[in-house]
Amino acid sequence: MSTVVETDVLIVGSGPAGASAALALSTYGVPNIVVTRYASLADTPRAHITNQRTMEVLRDLGVEQEVVAQATPQHLMGNTTFCTSLAGEELGRVRSWGNDPLVQAEHELASPTRMCDMPQHLMEPVLVNAAVARGTRLRFETEYLSHTQDADGVTATVRDRLRGDTYEIRAKYLIGADGGRSKVAADAGLPMGGQMGVAGSINIVFEADLAKYTAHRPSTLYWVLAPGATVGGIGAGLVRCVRPWTEWLIVWGYDVTAGAPDLTTEYAESVVRKLVGDDDIPVTIKSSSAWTVNEMYAERYANGRVFCAGDAVHRHPPSNGLGSNTSVQDAYNLAWKLKLVLDGTAHPRLLDSYTAERAPIGRQVVTRANQSIRETAPVFEALDGLSPQTPEQLWANITARKDSTEAAGKQRAELREAIAFKAYEFNAHGVDLNQRYASGAIVPDGTPDPGFARDPELHHQPSTRPGARLPHAWITSGSRTLSTLDTVGRGRFTLLTGIGGEDWVRAASAQDLPVATVVIGPGQEYEDPYGDWARLSEISDAGALLVRPDGFVAFRHASAAPDAGELLADALRTVLGHA
């Protein structure tokens, strides 16, 4: 072991968390190296639901259009179907992922982006290619083994799995984005709450032309209530579309106390046949793998110069489709802070805000995803299908709902209600977008927390209160229509004001670090022809919002201020950890 390679940030892992961290850091000009254990990026679809907040992050990082071009679009995602098999009886549907007209309106009002379905094996190359093109140095087949840290940096020992030798990488910071079995998080001693291995699950990836069962009710997810479907797993059997309508992934449970079944091709085919329900359709099994449902989150995301992101710090089932979304958003939260600390603009104290802001989100996501599994049980309960689970009993109960009796009518109503309640998994727009941060990198403005007027899990509620994400509004600049979110980001702070906000504009240009200014109003660089921004901004025209590089409001002042220079300088000092 002789060579020592040096960089600013060493990232372990090239999944959604590591790849996004690399992309953001390279976009901001921070030297970084990614080491990743295997010879390739993800070779199975894994995570796929890509929510609006993640699409906003990708928009800022310049890869949104590439993702849109490859993803299954939102309108093909949304007929979440409950059935006895794809070929069998349909029990009901939920208009999902923003495809309910009412929810769709909320999506359109909330963001310039659209949700889409981007399987992980397609997403990772987009992120990694862009990162490498912008400067990331990537080493495949390189395994993180251990690290030590001192006052100036972190020294990680890695093994080149091709040559078999080890070497050291010296970095100023280490990001552990090494997934659900994170060795970096364990080595850093990050305290974890919750439990691993709550239930057993199997993923089976296969090819089959299932258009005749799916194209008329296009969806990302088809839930199958078959005997045995409540054993382990994620609430029911699941047929998930990878590519319409020929590539699929089945999720099927197993009893975790008995251990995973032998994943032979015959076993995989038997599960596929059970869930598809048509033995005549040719099926090609691509892969099968066992995994466990976890309910675990880190209470702290960092130890000194070591930061963890993604599944390394929140481990949960795929329900609500939050896995890679939260991972991308962790990385985005961390990257600009590292950049500003590394270039000397910010005090290292700024990095404390990473745990303060992201750990509560991670915990919420873990809880929500596991709760969504439990909320599938009422669908079975409505059919009296939890126990006993003989096929005959379940089919008899399913058939009984068609009777013209009072009991059958009650059963139909219960089933409708149980299926509709799954909106908390398939239309949880608030979970996606209502993130509010409280940390040293947010300057409270003294206003009381407005809370949420509607269910905060289902409905997005925009706010400009410090700690909230800047609300989206369509504004114009000449003939161009753009989102307020398009005026912020790109690694820099932005000050938004309006007519009468000249003191704020002057204050912004007088700061030591670059603060972009956006003036919105008639005759200004940006105009608000629909009045949307005026309705959402919660400040007067002459007031100001200071928005962080990640699009979150850091500071708000409701009106003009003759001492704007001082107020803004104080706010920036606080946010940057110098106060």
Per CB under 6 A, 143 contacts ligand FDA:
yes
The 8 Å CB, 24+ separation contacts for 2-5 are: 2/167, 3/167, 3/168, 4/155, 4/167, 4/168, 4/169, 4/170, 5/33, 5/167, 5/168, 5/169, 5/170
Distance separating alpha carbons of residues 137 and 34, to the nearest angstrom: 6
Q: How far is the CB of 8 from ligand FDA (least distance, A)?
A: 19
CA distance 546 to 443: 10
| In the complex, least distance from residue 166 CB atom to ligand FDA, rounded to whole angstroms | 12
Beta bridge partners of 156: 147, 169
Only one of the segments 42-50, 204-212, 339-347, 518-526 lies at the binding site for ligand FDA (rule: CB under 6 A); that segment is: 42-50
Does the footprint of ligand FDA cover residue 120 (CB under 6 A)? yes
Does 310 sit near ligand FDA (CB under 6 A)? yes
How many residues lie near ligand FDA (CB under 6 A)? Answer: 32
Q: Please identify, using beta-carbon distances, which residue of 34 and 520 lies nearer to ligand FDA.
A: 34
In 456-547, which residue ranges form alpha helices assigned H by DSSP?
Answer: 502-509, 532-536
**Cβ pair 8, 122 in contact under 8 A:** no
Give the footprint of ligand FDA on residues 273-302 (CB under 6 A). 289, 291
Cα-only R_g, the chain:
25
Q: Is 324 in the site for ligand FDA (CB under 6 A)?
A: yes
Q: How far is the CB of 143 from ligand FDA (least distance, A)?
A: 4
Task: Choose the stretch contacting ligand FDA; rule: CB under 6 A; options: 77-85, 93-101, 307-315, 467-475.
Answer: 307-315
Smallest gap from Cβ 369 to ligand FDA, in A, equals 8
Q: Which helix (H) or strand (E) holds 253?
A: strand 247-254
Q: Minimum CB separation from ligand FDA for residue 204, in Å?
A: 11
Q: What angle do CA 239, 240, 245 make, to 5 degrees?
A: 100
Q: Quote the CA–CA distance of 572 and 579 in Å, as a whole number.
A: 9
By the rule CB under 6 A, 308 interacts with ligand FDA: no
> By rule CB under 6 A, what string of x and - marks binding of each residue 481-520 to ligand FDA?
----------------------------------------
3-state secondary structure of 489: strand
Question: Is 17 a residue that touches ligand FDA (CB under 6 A)?
Answer: yes
φ/ψ region of 366 (left if φ > 0, alpha if ψ in -120 to 50, else beta) reads: alpha
Query: For residue 440, what are its two tokens?
Result: 């040293």
Q: Is 36 in the site for ligand FDA (CB under 6 A)?
A: yes
User: By CB under 6 A, what part of segment 152-191 binds ligand FDA?
Assistant: 177-179, 183
Residue (268 or 443) nearer to ligand FDA, CB: 268
Question: Is residue 14 close enough to count as binding ligand FDA by CB under 6 A?
Answer: yes
Positive or negative torsion for Cα 37, 38, 44, 48: positive
Q: Which of 18, 200, 489, 549 binds ligand FDA (CB under 6 A)?
A: 18
User: Should residue 222 be labelled a site residue for ligand FDA when binding is judged by CB under 6 A?
Assistant: no
Is 35 among the residues that bind ligand FDA (CB under 6 A)? yes
> Does 119 sit near ligand FDA (CB under 6 A)?
no
Q: Are strands 4-12 and 32-35 parallel, antiparallel or unpaired?
A: parallel
Instruction: State in angstroms the smallest separation of the CB of 332 from ligand FDA.
Output: 13
Burial 415-442 (b: 16+ CB within 10 A, else e): beebbeebbbbbbbbbbbbbbbbebbbb
Footprint of ligand FDA (CB under 6 A): 12-18, 35-38, 44, 46-47, 120, 143-144, 177-179, 183, 203, 289, 291, 310-312, 318, 321, 323-324, 327
